């Protein structure tokens, strides 16, 4: 819906609907004036016939927004439920989206394996398929420079959720036979950046997926068509897109993306490497800027997720963090998955300050900005930052993001 | 993937990949000839930049197929997992797809209620939202005239699955206050057919949803934008699209769609009315016509669902129904939801005949054609027919549908 909750209702519309209802046989008073006559009655004209694909309504425009570099964020504030439409999944790439003909794409698996082999997509489709719903989040998913007029999309739209289908990487590793002593593998993409990451063998033998489908259909090119690695719960860049090569080894490969990039200072002068797991986090998606609330009851809504498993609880504050209450979680609550939380609240014309914090099944609690700064220091690299964020409601109902005191 | 399992591999591709791997630094022998030179190396050119929406690959064409009348089916054989992409959800309408501006759309709730009222979409968005993944199936979802060269899409593609979000109809009924003695309500669409169905008050107060979103985004116009009723587990036509009016009453409304249409002969000369619930059913989606299998191991895949709750078990036969074995179900197994089943099997060049049957949590077993005919007679109206169907594999690996002996 492009209508945000609380959008002032249109007085014309109510009269028009009275006219439509009257046409349907209801005895309702309603003056039909010039304005009403200009709104076509959909019951009086034949509709469009079936089509090969069902497009969106022209009134339901949705789009990703480019942030900086080769990045675009998901419009979290416009979405419902937990699935991100495939064409609105956030994108991050290091040298653009390659154009790949799947008939000419293969995955080479070699290194410390008994039977090195290339697999075509037809080969991969013959292996047992597994499917799971899970989030995928970029490790750099926070804009520290966000001002009051900020949407969730701009602030932290680099998280999205899909139903992923593919072959368990563990299955393929059994097929090629991993040699004793193997501890890491390299995943390599076929984009112009030849994106590479080292993955511990435990993850590869665990829940990692060689994904060829997303939300029922083949991956979209921006998401790695025709094949990507998918590491549930881990920072997005490890889920290497356009995957063409896996090399098994006894040590990590120390690629650019795990030495020069994707490492974080931890406050005492040292830098953290191979920080794979995404910590628990939540964000309110409704109400947020640029909504203006009418007085009365509303439903606060948001999503929470954790790379360590299920969300156990989400707490919401309506007074800037002084008092907290449990939000309601919508089931099924799946591990490593965006989980919807909701809480009804009443706006009476007095200022409010909304905030949410996620608690996952390990007991981890989403930190405040202050706690994050104490633990990590004020580094220049915004990776793995998941602070509680606040949204203010002004006396007149305007909703504004409260910029983080990141210093 | 447009590659069906078992598609013969392309010898050119293997040499090309050797060339690509060589360029990536691997010492692999591979003659690079004229053919290989014509395949562009995606790592040697910058890719496309981010975009507002991520389109499908030109190599991953998917489409609904119009069957007859205003009907188009979902390409079940091309999909993975359980979610149907919103633009591939089957469509059935009685007078085409209306074009509706959501700013001028309202839902009128009246009849035996204390406080009759119109609700704008902004109003509905303020009520507590609920979300569930569930199938939606047309009650006329079987082609009795299907020949050997039939896909699942053509045979029974009028079932699809989405994550639906909206307001519980029960919530809205509490808002308007249902008067004592109310037993039914009328749901009316704003299409040119002014589609209407009577819904028992128990369903309305149970799990019925006033849905405004599907797979995270607003409903597509073919699925009822901006508002539809969604009755989990019930025949699709009761989930009235483009919903504009609900009237509460003490009796059913006996509309055209529940008197002249959507009733079934039950074999003894009588006709069944208000047969809302969709019975348990399954269909194999891989391998099916037009696949040709290579010898060796393959994974049989399909979907099973029941309007009465969860799928408890799916049994698969590889020999035309003589012996049956349990398929593996992919979790989470949700009530009234498409559930994936799989079974590895080996094709050795001898003819095979594949079949599946669903058993739901009530103990209901998907019937054979013979059992259906015995229970219902051979009526001319193919509503609520859910027989076990068979797929043959010829000696040469060709897969063909086995037409039903419907007489």
pLDDT in tens, A301-333: 999 999 999 999 999 999 999 999 999 999 999
pLDDT in tens, A355-365: 999 999 999 99
Please, what is the Cα angle at A33 between A30 and A35, to 5 degrees? Answer: 115
Q: Would the pLDDT of B338 be above 90?
A: yes
**In chain B, pLDDT over 90 holds for what percent of residues?**
75
- Contact partners, residue B343, CB within 8 Å, separation at least 6: B299, B300, B316, B325, B327, B328
Question: What 8-state DSSP symbol labels residue B277?
Answer: B
Residue among B84, B87, B217 minimizing CB distance to A79: B217
pLDDT for the residue numbered B201 = 98
Choosing among 2.60.40.420, 1.10.10.60, 2.40.50.140, 2.60.40.650, the CATH entry for A281-402 is 2.60.40.650
Question: Which ranges in chain A are annotated with CATH 2.60.40.650?
Answer: 281-402
Residues 165-184 of A with CB under 8 A from B: 165
The answer, yes or no, to whether residue B14 has pLDDT greater than 60, is no
Instruction: Note whether A245 contacts B: Cβ–Cβ < 8 A.
Output: yes
For residue range A199-241, what is the model confidence (pLDDT) as tens digits?
Answer: 999 999 999 999 999 999 999 999 999 999 999 999 999 999 9
Q: What pLDDT is stored for residue A378 in this prediction?
A: 72
Nearest to A247 by CA among B369, B63, B25: B25
Model confidence at A4, pLDDT cuts 50, 70, 90, reads very low
Partners of B211 on chain A (C-beta within 8 Å) are none
Query: What is the tens place of the pLDDT at every residue in B275-299?
Result: 999 999 999 999 999 999 999 999 9
Is residue B3 over pLDDT 70?
no
Nearest chain A alpha carbon to B130: A330
Residue A373: per-residue pLDDT = 87
Is 70 exceeded by the pLDDT of residue B164?
A: yes
Indicate the fold that domain B65-253 takes in CATH: Sulfite Oxidase; Chain A, domain 2 (3.90.420)
Between B168 and A49, the more confident residue is B168
In the prediction, which pLDDT does A13 show?
35
What does the pLDDT look like over B122-133, one tens digit per residue? 999 999 999 999
**Hey, is the C-beta of B59 within 8 angstroms of any chain A C-beta?**
yes
Whether pLDDT at A22 is above 50: no
Other beta carbons within 10 angstroms of residue B171's beta carbon come to 17
* Cis? peptide before A234, omega within 30° of 0: no
The better pLDDT of the pair B268, B187 is held by B187
- Is the pLDDT at A138 greater than 50? The verdict is yes
What is the nearest CA distance from A371 to chain B, expressed in angstroms?
A: 33
Evaluate if residue A264 carries a pLDDT over 70: yes
Q: Convert the pLDDT of each residue in B17-76 to its tens digit.
A: 333 333 333 333 333 344 445 678 899 988 988 889 899 999 998 999 876 677 899 999
Q: Give the per-residue pLDDT at B22.
A: 33
pLDDT score of A348 more than 90:
yes
Q: Supply the DSSP string of B96-158, one letter for each residue.
A: -B----GGG-EEEEEESBSS-EEEEHHHHHHSPEEEEEEEEE-TT---TT--SS--HHHHH--
Contact between residue A243 and residue A210 where contact means Cβ atoms under 8 Å apart: yes
Contact across the interface for A99 and B47, Cβ inside 8 Å: yes
Nearest CA distance, A376 vs chain B (angstrom)? 31
Contact yes or no for A42 and B5 at CB 8 A: no
Which distant-in-sequence residues (6+ apart) come within 8 Å of B126 by Cβ?
Answer: A5, A6, A296, A297, A298, A299
Amino acid B270: pLDDT: 84
> Across residues B178-198, what is the average pLDDT?
96
Q: Which of A328, A345, A297 is nearest to B126 (CA)?
A: A297
Q: Is A38's Cβ below 8 Å from some Cβ in B?
A: no
Residue predicted with more confidence, A67 or A114: A114
Evaluate if residue B9 carries a pLDDT over 70. no
- Nearest CB among B72, B85, B125 relative to A215 is that of B85
Tell me the average pLDDT of chain A: 89
**CB-based contact B96 A13, cutoff 8 Å:** no
Tell me what the pLDDT averaged over chain B comes to.
89
Q: Does A221 touch chain B (CB under 8 A)?
A: yes
DSSP string, B82-95: SPPPGGGS-EE-SS
User: From the CA of A193, how many Å to the nearest CA of chain B?
Assistant: 7
Work out the pLDDT band at B352, boundaries 50, 70, 90: very high
Domain with CATH 3.90.420.10 in chain B: 65-253
* Candidate from A59, A87, A217 with C-beta closest to B79: A217
Report the topology of domain A65-257.
Sulfite Oxidase; Chain A, domain 2 (3.90.420)
């Amino acid at each position: 819906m492009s209508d945000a909750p609380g959008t002032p209702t249109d007085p014309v519309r109510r009269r028009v609907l009275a006219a439509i209802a009257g046409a349907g046989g209801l005895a309702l008073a309603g003056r039909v004036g010039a304005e009403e006559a200009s709104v076509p009655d959909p019951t009086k004209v034949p509709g469009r016939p079936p089509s090969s694909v069902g497009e969106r309504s022209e009134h339901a425009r949705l789009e990703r927004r480019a942030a900086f570099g080769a990045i675009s964020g998901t419009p979290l504030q416009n979405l419902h439920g937990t699935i991100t439409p495939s064409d609105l999944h956030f994108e991050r790439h290091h040298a653009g989206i390659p154009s790949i003909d799947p008939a000419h794409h293969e995955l080479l698996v070699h290194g410390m394996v008994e039977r090195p082999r290339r697999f075509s997509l037809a080969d991969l489709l013959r292996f047992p398929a597994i499917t799971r719903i899970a989030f995928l989040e970029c490790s750099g998913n926070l804009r520290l420079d966000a001002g009051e007029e900020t949407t969730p999309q701009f602030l932290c739209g680099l998280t999205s959720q899909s139903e992923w289908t593919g072959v368990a990487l563990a299955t393929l590793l059994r097929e090629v036979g991993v040699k004793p002593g193997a501890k890491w593998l390299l995943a390599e993409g076929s984009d112009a950046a030849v994106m590479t990451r080292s993955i511990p063998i435990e993850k590869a033998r665990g829940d990692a997926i060689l994904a060829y489908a997303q939300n029922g259909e083949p991956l979209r090119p921006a998401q790695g068509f025709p094949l990507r690695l998918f590491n549930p719960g881990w920072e997005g860049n490890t889920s290497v897109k356009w995957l063409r090569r896996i090399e098994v080894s006894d040590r990590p490969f120390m690629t650019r993306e795990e030495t020069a990039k994707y490492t974080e200072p931890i406050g005492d002068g040292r830098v953290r490497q191979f920080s794979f797991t995404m910590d628990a986090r939540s964000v309110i998606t409704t109400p947020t800027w640029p909504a203006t609330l009418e007085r009365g009851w509303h439903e606060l809504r948001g999503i929470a997720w954790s790379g360590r498993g299920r969300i156990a609880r989400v707490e919401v504050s309506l007074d800037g963090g002084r008092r907290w209450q449990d939000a309601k979680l919508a089931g099924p609550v799946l591990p490593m998955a965006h989980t919807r939380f909701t809480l009804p609240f009443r706006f009476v014309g007095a200022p409010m300050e909304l905030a949410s914090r996620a608690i996952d099944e390990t007991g981890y609690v989403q930190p405040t900005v202050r706690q994050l700064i104490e633990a990590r220091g004020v580094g220049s690299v915004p990776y793995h930052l998941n602070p509680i964020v606040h949204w203010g409601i002004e006396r007149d109902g305007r909703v504004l993001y409260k910029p983080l005191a990141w210093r």
